[in-house]
Structure 1
C-alpha cells in the first residue's frame, strides 16, 4: 500500500505537457491545494448514497447496474500494489463476480504523482469503451513506463498501440479541464472518504485499505451475496 504523504502541494490543476513528462526522472507529487486528510479510523464505512454521488468525472462502471454488491477502488497507476491487485485478484473478481452480475465495479483516480496522473488522463481520453482495457494495459506494463527516465515516450508508445495518434496524445496531456477533474476526484476521495493510500476499496461502503487477495475477496463478498 502506497502512502499519499506528499499530496498536499504541487502542481494543482495545471495541465500536463508531454514536454514536461519527457524530463521527469522520478515521480513528482501534485495536489489540488491544501487537503485535510481523514484518518482511516474516522472513516471505516461510508454511506452508499454519499459514495455514489456524482463527482467531477463520471464513474465508468463494469457490471450490471442492479448488481447487489458495489466495489469502488481508489488507485494510482504507478502504485505497485495496485498493479499487483489488477494482475492477480482483479481477473478473479471480473470472471467470478462482475461478469456473472453479482458485482458492479468502479475505478476512481487517485494518482500519487504526475506520471500516474498522465496515465489516468490517457485512459480517460481513450473513451469510456476503452478506459478499462487501457487501465489493464497500463497496469500490466507498469514497470516499462512508470519508473523510467522517459515516461512520456513509453506512454506514447502504449497510447499509439491503443489507437491514439501523437497529436491526440499531446492534446490529452494538455487538457487543463481533464487535469483539474482528475485532481478533484482525488481531493474528494481524500476529504470525504479518508483516502490516504492506494489501493483503497469500498465494498458496499466498507473501507478496506491495501491490496486484496482472491481468498480475501471471497470472504468479503460471500456474506453480502448470501444475504441477497
Structure 2
C-alpha cells in the first residue's frame, strides 16, 4: 500500500503539483453539496458532494456504486463505454441505485482533466466527464511525443501556468470551448490549486481506505470490490443487489 501511495505522490510531485514556488495555502473548507434536479427524474439528477465527487441519480438509493476513475486510464474509458447505458437504464433512472464518480489522480494530466471536468456548476459535470473519456485517445495523443519546450512548460513552478500549458498542448481548451466554455472561465478552473490539492488527498484516501490499486476501481454499498476492474466483473455483483 505504501509503495503504491509513494508512487502516486512522486508522480505528482515530479511535475510540481505538490511543490510550488509560492507557499502552500491553508486548505479550504469543503464546499457544501450542490444539487441539480431536472424534469427527467433520477436520471437527470447530479449531486456534488463535499468530497468533490459527483453522485448521478438518487442520493438516497439503497444501492450505491462508487467508481474511481483516472481520465488518462484506457480501461476507464472502456468501462464507461460498456457500462453507461446499462447503468443508466437499469440502475440510475429507476432510483434503485446511484453512481458516484470519484477522480483518481495518477499523473499531472489527470490533475488538469479533473479540474476541467469539475469546471462550472454540477449540471456541467456529466457532459465534461463523458467527453473526456470518450475522446481520450484524441487529447492524450500529444503527450506521447512531447518536445523539450513542452517539457519545460509542463514543469513551470507556477501552478496555474503549468496547468494551462498542459491543457493547451493537449488541445483541451478546444474541446471545452466546444462545450460552451470561455477561455477566462477555463483559466480560472485550471488555477484552482485548492481543488487540485484536495483531489490529491482524496486519491491518498482511496489508496489507504478503499484499497485502490488501479483504475477503474469500485466500491459497492461500502465494500471495496477487490479483483473487479471491468464491467464484465462488476455487472453480476451489481445485478444481485438491484434485484
Q: Scaled by the length of structure 1, what TM-score is found? A: 0.73
Structure 1 match to 2:167: 152
Supply the distance in 2 between the matched residues of 1:152 and 1:206 (Cα, whole angstroms).
Answer: 35
Root mean square deviation, CA, Å: 2.4
Deviation at 1:83, TM superposition (A): 0.4
Structure 2 residues not aligned, in runs of 5+: 21-47, 147-165
Q: How does 1:77-92 map onto structure 2 within 5 Å?
A: 77-92=71-86
Q: How does 1:1-228 map onto structure 2 within 5 Å?
A: 6-9=7-10, 10=13, 11-13=16-18, 57-149=51-143, 152-153=167-168, 154-208=171-225, 209-213=227-231, 215-226=232-243
Deviation at 1:130, TM superposition (A): 0.8
Q: Deviations for 1:125-147, whole angstroms, at most 9, x for unmatched residues?
A: 13211111110011000011123
Structure 1 residues not aligned, in runs of 5+: 16-53
Q: Is the 8 A contact 1:14 1:179 kept in 2?
A: no
Higher-helix-fraction structure: 2
Q: Scaled by the length of structure 2, what TM-score is found? A: 0.69
Q: Deviations for 1:82-104, whole angstroms, at most 9, x for unmatched residues?
A: 00000111221112111111211
- Name the CA shift for 1:210/1:224 in 2 (closer, same or farther; >3 Å): closer
Deviation at 1:206, TM superposition (A): 2.6
Supply the distance in 2 between the matched residues of 1:192 and 1:55 (Cα, whole angstroms).
Answer: 18
Larger Rg: 2
Q: Is the 8 A contact 1:77 1:139 kept in 2?
A: yes
Structure 1 ranges of 4+ moved more than 6 A: none
Q: Deviations for 1:128-185, whole angstroms, at most 9, x for unmatched residues?
A: 1111111001100001112314752311011101221112222211111111111121
SS class of match (1:7): helix
SS class of match (1:77): coil
